[in-house]
A and B are shown apart, each in its own frame.
Chain A
């Protein structure tokens, strides 16, 4: 039992530090886009091949830490089969504490379209969904100033 508790404690510690990247399939998009109960949900879309994306994720994480009621989720347009590479990249950038998804569909363009039909697939892409259901999105690496303009 002691041993189990110790392992469980380890598990909890890991969970607090590193969120595993979980699949985002077509059927999951509706739930992903549900408005939060209060404040704002920020969906930060990135890709392994995008040299601007980590700074955007970092800026959004910093914003979340300084503001209340901001739900932040990272969505990689890379395939879930790349989970190990995604987790390694997030960990190296100290971004692995944020809930994180990766595409699980043969057609990344379809998920792009379902998440945001007004988006051309460029990254980074930041989608903000407010509690009242309203949405706002911006492409490109965001500064704190631009993030502020997106928020409620």
Chain B
């Protein structure tokens, strides 16, 4: 009888409140996704989320205190705020603060890329706008944001419109397409989106970086042949020309699945494309550094880290190159650094420069006065870790 009662109680126990994907940020109890940038005055800008709100903060003392906090979207909306989807911030040449994020829609794997800007030093942000003209309830997610040398705003994202069209036509299609758009008027309007490439990976962040000529390059996981998930590089024209896309990594990682692991890119003053990327070819998870050459294997390719390492970022200044990543161990999470002083030909040993027993968002390298700092937020608490002190 007691057992029956127990079963009965179980049967009528209320279900866990129906937080569907539409009503909340996507995942773990705390959303650790953030981005950071340092402006020409040496002020640090950090974007993250609180529930359904994107928050921009400014620190004038390198992250110790925040003197300004502004909610970008006073009217809340669902936000992808972790993993490969996290809010982004980029700074324009005349004090503009640009922010993008991906907004989950009701159906699985759907989203819209959202944009907002502040033209008054972060005091207010415009009403968020959807970047793409296409409004189908499909994937437009994994936004990436950059500002080119002319101050144009470039946004790239993963887009499933071509997958949908192929599926309806009964044609095979692997992954999703990668699209981009740009604004020549400080984000007031965006050009109709253009495709970068078909059949690229549908679940990895896109890296954008500015080249010495001011143009923006994209480095992203593409699909070659039968689900070989290597990376492609392309300059993103803002004059209507089609991007020239070339393969840039050759790990031959075959996976009919989601790596959840996008690359990073930084371009030096000589135009060398320094990059880090993840592969688990031959069941060996590996973060690799290399200098990209479109259509050819990378130069100076070197293993940065292996088991337990994830989500590397890198930065370059002159001959110095910094690589940081999250290193999971049985004892917790270490923020790791490797640095080069010879333009990436050689890297020093890996060093742990911070540790947390808990979780953190992914590290983001920022530069100020030729010094590198790592933005990290263990336990949701933002900090800026000096990279050079550890060398």
Asked if B260 contacts A122 (CB within 8 A), the reply is: yes
Q: How far is the CA of A112 from the CA of B309 in the complex (A)?
A: 11
One digit per residue, 1 when the CB lies within 8 angstroms of any chain B CB and 0 when it does not, for chain A 101-122 equals 0010111111011100111111
Contacts of B169 in A (CB 8 A): none
Size category of the binding interface on chain A:
35 or more
| Cα distance A8–B256 in the bound complex, in angstroms | 43
| Option from A84, A119, A140 in Cβ contact (under 8 Å) with B285 | A119
260-280 of chain B: CB within 8 A of chain A? 260-261, 278, 280
The reply to whether B28 and A118 form a contact with Cβ atoms under 8 Å apart is no
What is the bound-complex CA distance between A112 and B285, given in angstroms? 13
Contact B359–A81 (Cβ < 8 Å): no
Is the CB of B307 closer than 8 A to any CB of chain A?
Answer: yes
The CA of A75 and the CA of B358, in the complex, are separated in Å by 21
Q: Kindly state the separation between the CA atoms of A47 and B258 in the bound complex, as whole angstroms.
A: 9
Given the interface contacts A88-B20, A113-B328, does A11 sit within 8 Å of B255 by beta carbon?
no
Closest to B18 in A: A84
Interchain nearest-CB distance for B158 vs A (Å)? 11
Q: How far is the CA of A56 from the CA of B26 in the complex (A)?
A: 22
Residues of A within 8 A of B12 (CB): 7
On whether the beta carbons of B257 and A140 are closer than 8 Å, the reply is: yes
**Cα distance, A59 to B28, chains bound together (Å):** 27
Interface string of B8-23 (1 = CB under 8 A from A): 1011100111111100
The CA of A125 and the CA of B256, in the complex, are separated in Å by: 11
Q: Using Cβ atoms and an 8 Å threshold, which residues of chain B touch A139?
A: 255, 257, 280, 283
- Residue B330 interfacial (CB < 8 Å): yes
Interface hits, B96-117 → A, CB 8 Å: 108-109
Least Cβ distance of A66 to chain B in Å?
22
**Complex: A85 Cα to B254 Cα, angstroms:** 29
Interface residues in chain A, defined as those with a beta carbon under 8 Å from any beta carbon in chain B: 4-5, 7-8, 10-12, 14, 47-53, 56, 78-79, 81-85, 88-89, 103, 105-110, 112-114, 117-125, 137-141
List 20 extra interface pairs beyond A78-B26, A84-B18, CB under 8 A. A7-B12, A8-B4, A10-B11, A11-B10, A11-B11, A49-B83, A51-B258, A85-B19, A108-B27, A108-B359, A109-B328, A110-B328, A117-B307, A117-B308, A120-B285, A124-B257, A138-B283, A139-B257, A139-B283, A140-B254
